[in-house]
Structure 1
């Protein structure tokens, strides 16, 4: 496909996403099935235009003076990819290319973002979240939001039950891997050039052998800080597909017992194949949605790991369309779900044990506010300072939290730590 045809295709996919409110991945997949002549390079370039347009939707529409699919796609080429206006002009000519540029579009291609533009425009987050971002980051709100609007690398966690980091680095050498800066079991494949798709790491033979799992470094850190070790009794009460369950199993060296539970059987279904591939034998998967199975664990758990349902705002680099689908009503629903799962989990913690509360969110209402609610409701729990846990667990200097808080919790972000956004609070039950 010619560059102009790729641009037109991206405009059409964006129209499906913005006008019909379809998930980006689904819209791109449907376009690919309907246009089988498009090669993998074409699909990668089209997908990158679409996802970069969604990542930077606010700033691009501000610069281009419109929020149409066409304006966003043109804006990506000029303002995210650095293409010259003359090059973009040449793309809009003939064949399957878009219509020629208007004078207003030409002006938008060379416009500069006003430093006095609203924070939510420069930071590329929804306007209705402006108060949340200010509460979380203060004067850093724009920088933190902007980092969530960039592309993310591919991180993998070495499965120490079967391999070590050197072995995985060697297996993935064609991708120019790097060691992650914080996690001792992490390997990172850097962001590739704008036209290239992220490599399909999971298609590698080393993944099939169970040597590694794709997992963001922030998620790895959350599992590491939980402090799970040999012979511990652990409940992972929002296990989902089992990413953190697998991490905990490796930390425990296949000893002790992990009870993996999720309220949704569809989310839980992939865990069985993943456990088998990883060689994790210390995990008992509880029946999905069977709360009585959890009740049997009452006051028996050294660690209760709560990866709570949340907005997913910490993963906007990977799922940028999600930030525009989120609504205040949906966020309120998440708040209720978080309190419900915390209330369900508290009785499982034995005296002296830990409840580890984690979200993939940067929003204070899902993070510190929920931890504060929990501590007010459950007076026999107290926060464990994260700086202390970090030093004891990772043997490295504490990098500090991205959030303005009291230091008892930790917020990891792309801008501050190079990870997805992850919140971690450790709450200990009195002995």
Structure 2
């Protein structure tokens, strides 16, 4: 397919998302089924265009003064891809499979309109109802912060130190352009161009033998800040597919007791194969069945890790469709879920133990406010200073603290500040 034909296809997919009110993944799959002639490179390029339109949905419509699928695609080409009006015009020449030529109004908008004067939720491309929350956490910087949340994310990998080390894995993945991440001592990063297909990491020997996992650097840091140690009893309370469980196991060096569970047993389905591939032998996966999988463990754990159910606002770079489908009711439910899991964790920690609370959200209701409410309910806990729990970064710690957003409740990572997904981490300790 030509670049112009791919552009037409992206307009079709965006129209399907609008009219059928379906997730982008479904719309792209339906298009692929109906157009089997399209190769993998074509599908990857079309997917990239569609997700870039979703990332820049509001700002593109504002720029064009038109909210149609075509207008949003054209606006995205200028705002996200940096195309000038002549380059866009060459793609829209009306030839076979190409979009129709630019109208006078479209050409004028692309040539002269900017986002100057656009409201924050338009310039930052986020739902308007979240503006107060973003203003509370970011203040006047909410436009650059949320704009960074609308850019494509790189592919980050975590080296499994139970199987290998970063230098060895980096050398074997040199053909993919893997470079060390700026903060995590276990991370590698592969930058991706706008039209690039994600490399087939799962087919790489290092992945197959368990030496590397796909994990955003922010998630790697969140695990590192828990300070899980060899010989401890650690509970991963919201283990899901096991990403942080694997990181915790590596930090523990395969020694100690690591218990992984999740209230949704379906989320745990991939964890067994992942633990086996990673060479983890000290993990006990407990699936909720008829009773409490953690019965009898109250007051026994050195560390309880909560990778809390949350709105996922910090992962919008990877899932831009989610931000436009998010509703206030979802935030309210997640806050309730977080209260429940925090109170459950408090019961499991022994004197001198700690709770590590993690969200992939930047919203204050799920982060600092949640921690303040927890302390009011559990005055026997104290908040560990972020300066202390970020110390494992070593010589990088000072620069990291300058980059991240530290508060009395914890630390917030954002795409703008730390070039990671958005993560909040707080460590709570029960004194002896």
TM-score normalized with structure 2 length: 0.96
The number of residues matched between the two structures is: 430
- In the alignment, is the contact (CA less than 8 A) between 1:165 and 1:186 conserved in 2? yes
Q: Does 1:119 align with 2:108?
A: no
Secondary structure of 1:379 counterpart:
coil
- In the alignment, is the contact (CA less than 8 A) between 2:404 and 2:414 conserved in 1? no
Aligned to 1:365: 365
> How far does residue 20 in structure 1 lie from its aligned partner after superposition?
2.2
> How far does residue 230 in structure 1 lie from its aligned partner after superposition?
0.6
Greater displacement, 253-262 / 66-75? 66-75
- In the alignment, is the contact (CA less than 8 A) between 1:156 and 1:216 conserved in 2? yes
Aligned to 2:383: 383
- 1:345–1:404 Cα change, 3 Å: same
Secondary structure of 1:221 counterpart:
helix
- In the alignment, is the contact (CA less than 8 A) between 1:401 and 1:407 conserved in 2? no
Aligned to 2:167: 166
> How far does residue 402 in structure 1 lie from its aligned partner after superposition?
6.8
Q: Does 1:179 align with 2:180?
A: yes
- 1:290–1:223 Cα change, 3 Å: farther
Separation of aligned partners in 1, 2:57 and 2:290:
42
- 1:291–1:146 Cα change, 3 Å: farther
- In the alignment, is the contact (CA less than 8 A) between 2:184 and 2:393 conserved in 1? no
> How far does residue 409 in structure 1 lie from its aligned partner after superposition?
0.4
- In the alignment, is the contact (CA less than 8 A) between 2:268 and 2:287 conserved in 1? no
- In the alignment, is the contact (CA less than 8 A) between 1:401 and 1:409 conserved in 2? no
- 1:290–1:392 Cα change, 3 Å: farther
Aligned to 1:301: 301
Separation of aligned partners in 2, 1:358 and 1:231:
22
1:241-320 equivalences in 2 (<5 Å): 241-288=241-288, 292-320=292-320
Aligned to 2:203: 203
Structure 1's unaligned 5+ residue stretches are none
Aligned to 2:5: 5
Aligned to 2:154: 153
Q: Does 1:430 align with 2:399?
A: no
Aligned to 1:188: 189
CA RMSD across the alignment: 1.6
Separation of aligned partners in 2, 1:376 and 1:402:
29
Deviations 1:84-133 (A, max 9, x none): 32332233312222233222222222233243211111111111111111
Aligned to 1:17: 17
- In the alignment, is the contact (CA less than 8 A) between 2:4 and 2:97 conserved in 1? yes
> How far does residue 170 in structure 1 lie from its aligned partner after superposition?
1.1
- In the alignment, is the contact (CA less than 8 A) between 1:286 and 1:293 conserved in 2? yes
> How far does residue 401 in structure 1 lie from its aligned partner after superposition?
7.2
TM-score normalized with structure 1 length: 0.96
Separation of aligned partners in 2, 1:219 and 1:107:
44
> How far does residue 360 in structure 1 lie from its aligned partner after superposition?
0.2
Secondary structure of 2:390 counterpart:
helix
Separation of aligned partners in 2, 1:312 and 1:95:
41
Secondary structure of 2:228 counterpart:
coil
Separation of aligned partners in 2, 1:134 and 1:289:
43
> How far does residue 195 in structure 1 lie from its aligned partner after superposition?
2.0
Secondary structure of 1:268 counterpart:
coil
Aligned to 1:334: 334
Aligned to 2:130: 129
Deviations 1:237-273 (A, max 9, x none): 1000000000000000111011100111111100011
Separation of aligned partners in 1, 2:290 and 2:73:
47
- In the alignment, is the contact (CA less than 8 A) between 2:404 and 2:417 conserved in 1? no
- 1:244–1:289 Cα change, 3 Å: farther
- In the alignment, is the contact (CA less than 8 A) between 1:381 and 1:430 conserved in 2? yes
Greater displacement, 17-26 / 401-410? 401-410
Greater displacement, 130-139 / 76-85? 76-85
Aligned to 2:37: 37
- In the alignment, is the contact (CA less than 8 A) between 1:390 and 1:396 conserved in 2? no
Secondary structure of 2:100 counterpart:
coil
- In the alignment, is the contact (CA less than 8 A) between 1:55 and 1:317 conserved in 2? yes
Separation of aligned partners in 1, 2:417 and 2:289:
37
- In the alignment, is the contact (CA less than 8 A) between 2:406 and 2:412 conserved in 1? no
- 1:83–1:301 Cα change, 3 Å: same
> How far does residue 404 in structure 1 lie from its aligned partner after superposition?
6.3
> How far does residue 427 in structure 1 lie from its aligned partner after superposition?
0.5
Structure 2's unaligned 5+ residue stretches are none
Separation of aligned partners in 2, 1:280 and 1:52:
38
Separation of aligned partners in 1, 2:113 and 2:412:
32
Greater displacement, 32-41 / 343-352? 32-41
- In the alignment, is the contact (CA less than 8 A) between 1:157 and 1:187 conserved in 2? yes
Aligned to 1:410: 411
> How far does residue 279 in structure 1 lie from its aligned partner after superposition?
0.5
Aligned to 1:353: 353
